[in-house]
Structure 1
Amino acid sequence: MKKTDAKRLSLKQVRVIDAVARSRGFAEAAAMLNSSQPVVSRTIAAAEKLFGRPIFQRGWSGTEPTAWGEAVIERCANALKLIARAETDLAATGPHPDLAVVLRWHHLDAVAAVTSCGGTTGAAGFLAVSQPAISKSLAAISACTPHPLFLRKREGLEATPHARRLAALRDELRQALGTAGEITRSPAGRLGGRLAVGMLPFSGQALVARTFGGLTGQAPDLRLMAVPGSYHMLAEALRRGEIDCMIGILRRPPPFPDLQERFLYHETYTLVARHDHPCHRRHLTMASLKNEQWIVAPHGTPIRAFFESLFANEGAAPPAQTCEILSFGNAEQVIMNSQAIGLLAYGERQLLDLHPELKKLDIDLPGARVDVGLTVRTQAGETNVLQVFEKTLQDFLK
């Protein structure tokens, strides 16, 4: 039996890390554990200090694990399964013990040491603690088990099957959790963690879908999140670290100094309608389309500003009644199932593969070519996950 390494997660930290991971929030974890949010925060901070790196990060859906934190969380979940299995074994001959709530390393150390040494004096010497400390630990853990852990014999204390099961649990937990040094030194395995991509209205959404499809096979441990929204909503989420990047029409320059833009490819604003729409059978001007039904992006987007400029350039007021949609795919579906005309943004490949139910309107749109790319945090640093995502995007664009 080896002494417990001080640089090891406490069993309390194991429970708290698991609760935060499952509930996606510190307040929610506190409620789950019948504790307080400050206690949960301090416990996580102490665990992160132990490792010298963060386990959790702020995310779009709440508190999320970092790419490295995923490995810690998996170890904690496995440790709690081992404790639950031991509880089941101990309950075979009595009431079900609730070990997970009260169990500490010093409890298991004391049981294992007494089991090995045959008495509290030898155990105290082995663990370099006082004999009363050993007795106190044994009393605390004995109160949670259905049967005595030791029988007093002339030659000392004899371990019962319950004590031997707890001693075995100690070894299992040491193996499952490892030490802080072992975890931080472990080589990086498959790409894991979170990739949260903000998707601006219309532009780049099909590319994100194809890229995510490729990443599901390339990085099966990577949690993928596509978050649609307006520019300012997603930009604020990006600045807070809740998402990792956003894709869409670039602002040139971004309105926030802590954001930077990376060009990917060009798209072209294009008017589309059903293939059998009456507009395809007549000469078109923007003024002549004023009274049509329209599918457009919301106010405040570049494509909406371009839409309104098309009418203004011909001295016509833009239509007051429009259908605003954030999703490119949904917009195409509505156009195919209505008499509406849509102003969407397409790349060259998308136009070549335009759905047969859709047809491009024969009308010239000056200044319709726009830059599409990624927006990232300037000071965030280039994570491995973001590097892989950007490379996969580029591969699909070749």
Structure 2
Amino acid sequence: MTFRNLRHLRVCLAAADTGSITRAAEQGLVSQPAVTQAIAGLEIQAGGPIFERSPQGLFVTERGDLLLRRARRALALIDGALSDISPRAARIVSASQLQALIAVAEAENFSLAARRLGLSQPTVHRAVAQIEREADRKLFQRTSHGVVPTPACQAITRAAQLALAELTQAEADLADFDGREVGRIVIGALPLSRSVLLPRALAAFRRLRPTLPVTVIDGRYDDMLASLRRGDIDLMVGALRDPAPIGDVVQERLFDDRLVILSRPDHPLQEEVPPDLNALATWPWAVPARGTPTRAQIDTVFAAMPDEGPASIIETGSLLLMRGLLSQGDFLACLSRVQAAAEIESGAVAPLRVAIDWPARPIGLTVRQDWLPTRAQVQLVQALRALPDPAIIPDGSP
């Protein structure tokens, strides 16, 4: 793991800000040879010079700017969190200590954290104890089930996670500068993005970046949002929330989507144009679980039906299960038209032409407010923005 010596990064930032090894040494309370050594070490890791030397002083190179802008962002995150509890801690704590803190906070157990890091339990315990000593407070509450991070510890942990993610991004920036590919892109895929939106965007992206690893993660919205906010996920793609779920994320609308009612192609209701809305309640349904935006819209329609909707309902978020149910009987299902587009186009299911004025739902990107994407991440976002208007996808409207 490169770029994890926070003291070297601080010294190099001081050299960049002052343009002088002498003044950087004074500012960092180290010797001039120590500054020179720190710069030399980072230049080896960066794959080339990060400063140009001249009689007038030090000047940051283009390569150096890629590294130091990430370093500045990373250290600002760490300093902001640690300075709240101890100004000294912000200057003393190391990256390895922060990694130990993160591991313990996530595992809520020192032994499990040590195993995850490949270290001994005493080493991890000592690293956390050093941070607690500098902070002059306990960062974990001991319980019979393990250790629970305090609010102060949670703030430090999240800042450290984002800071280390920034330094990982620096590796990707510098590799791209040299014509290499390092790192990966992690996408949080919400249900409405998995069947059409992401496959098309990733196919276009892969033509630009044939080998860069891409990981697509699906799961509950709240879980992926937490992963996004701590830097484990680079961006989320899918239905946007109104209002935005929290102030430190930004949503970008790509297009609007609407729901569609589906059945097997030879369902009796396919012969009625449009089918009687009240008759829909007499058929069995497969719908998403309560608490999802899709189900909220469906329940509004159900409320207008006799006895407030159908008596036979199977709740599932699986498109595959819904398709299987539709093929096996007289089930009806209700999904996003984008989510169901591939199934409609293949003829596996068919939309019912029901006169329902479904509200539009914005589909788009969710990213951290201060996210600084790499060039490859920019290209992926551009591929998503360049997708054709999904209005061409059949929506089942009359």
Q: TM-score band, normalised by the shorter chain?
A: 0.5 to 0.7
What does residue 75 of structure 1 align with?
none
Measured after TM superposition, the shift of residue 389 of structure 1 is 1.4
What does residue 244 of structure 2 align with?
254
Counterparts of 1:321 and 1:353 in 2: how far apart (Å)? 24
Instruction: Tell me if structure 1 keeps the 8 A contact 2:192–2:338.
Output: no
2:349 paired residue among 358, 364, 384: 358
1:66 paired residue among 161, 165, 168: 168
Q: Name the amino acid aligned to 1:27.
A: A
Cα gap change, 1:323/1:381 in structure 2, threshold over 3 Å: closer, same or farther?
farther
Counterparts of 2:317 and 2:377 in 1: how far apart (Å)? 24
2:118 paired residue among 16, 26, 31: 31
Counterparts of 1:35 and 1:221 in 2: how far apart (Å)? 40
Cα gap change, 1:64/1:186 in structure 2, threshold over 3 Å: closer, same or farther?
closer
Cα gap change, 1:30/1:369 in structure 2, threshold over 3 Å: closer, same or farther?
closer
Q: Name the amino acid aligned to 2:114.
A: A
Residue 213 of structure 1 pairs with residue 203 of structure 2: yes
Residue 226 of structure 1 pairs with residue 313 of structure 2: no
What does residue 143 of structure 2 align with?
none
Measured after TM superposition, the shift of residue 371 of structure 1 is 1.7
Instruction: Tell me if structure 2 keeps the 8 A contact 1:266–1:370.
Output: yes
Counterparts of 1:334 and 1:224 in 2: how far apart (Å)? 32
Measured after TM superposition, the shift of residue 344 of structure 1 is 1.2
Per-residue deviation, residues 257-310 of structure 1 (Å, max 9, x unmatched):
112211111222101111011222346234322242222222221111011100
What does residue 187 of structure 2 align with?
197
Counterparts of 1:221 and 1:67 in 2: how far apart (Å)? 17
Per-residue deviation, residues 154-186 of structure 1 (Å, max 9, x unmatched):
xxxxxxxxxxxxxxxxxxxxxxxxxxxxxx699
Counterparts of 1:387 and 1:292 in 2: how far apart (Å)? 46
**Which of structures 1 and 2 has the bigger CA Rg?**
1
Q: CA RMSD in A?
A: 4.3
Instruction: Tell me if structure 2 keeps the 8 A contact 1:196–1:227.
Output: yes
Cα gap change, 1:315/1:237 in structure 2, threshold over 3 Å: closer, same or farther?
farther
Q: Name the amino acid aligned to 2:383.
A: T
1:293 paired residue among 284, 302, 305: 284
Cα gap change, 1:187/1:384 in structure 2, threshold over 3 Å: closer, same or farther?
closer
TM-score, scaled relative to structure 1: 0.53
1:241 paired residue among 231, 245, 263: 231
Q: Name the amino acid aligned to 1:293.
A: P
Gaps of at least 5 residues in structure 2 are: 1-36, 45-94, 100-111, 130-159, 390-398
Q: Name the amino acid aligned to 1:306.
A: Q
Instruction: Tell me if structure 2 keeps the 8 A contact 1:267–1:346.
Output: yes
Measured after TM superposition, the shift of residue 330 of structure 1 is 5.3
Q: Name the amino acid aligned to 2:115.
A: E
Measured after TM superposition, the shift of residue 212 of structure 1 is 2.2
Counterparts of 2:349 and 2:167 in 1: how far apart (Å)? 43
Q: Name the amino acid aligned to 2:370.
A: Q
Per-residue deviation, residues 81-130 of structure 1 (Å, max 9, x unmatched):
xxxxxxxxxxxxxxxxxxxxxxxxxxxxxxxxxxxxxxxxxxxxxxxxxx
Residue 390 of structure 1 pairs with residue 374 of structure 2: no
What does residue 330 of structure 2 align with?
339
Measured after TM superposition, the shift of residue 312 of structure 1 is 0.9
Q: Name the amino acid aligned to 2:334.
A: L
Instruction: Tell me if structure 2 keeps the 8 A contact 1:192–1:221.
Output: no
Gaps of at least 5 residues in structure 1 are: 18-24, 43-56, 72-183
1:273 paired residue among 248, 263, 277: 263
Alignment of 1:83-102 (within 5 A): none
Q: Name the amino acid aligned to 2:123.
A: S
What does residue 81 of structure 2 align with?
none
Cα gap change, 1:241/1:30 in structure 2, threshold over 3 Å: closer, same or farther?
closer
Cα gap change, 1:204/1:30 in structure 2, threshold over 3 Å: closer, same or farther?
closer
Per-residue deviation, residues 188-210 of structure 1 (Å, max 9, x unmatched):
42454232222223355421122
Q: Secondary structure at the match of 2:184?
A: strand
What does residue 62 of structure 2 align with?
none
Cα gap change, 1:276/1:64 in structure 2, threshold over 3 Å: closer, same or farther?
farther
Counterparts of 1:188 and 1:266 in 2: how far apart (Å)? 39
Cα gap change, 1:204/1:285 in structure 2, threshold over 3 Å: closer, same or farther?
farther
Q: Name the amino acid aligned to 1:195.
A: I
Q: Name the amino acid aligned to 2:292.
A: T
Q: Name the amino acid aligned to 1:219.
A: R
Alignment of 1:35-50 (within 5 A): 36-37=123-124
What does residue 140 of structure 1 align with?
none
Instruction: Tell me if structure 2 keeps the 8 A contact 1:231–1:301.
Output: no
Give identity over the alignment, percent.
24
- Select between 245-254 and 283-292 the one with higher mean Cα deviation: 283-292
Cα gap change, 1:259/1:362 in structure 2, threshold over 3 Å: closer, same or farther?
same
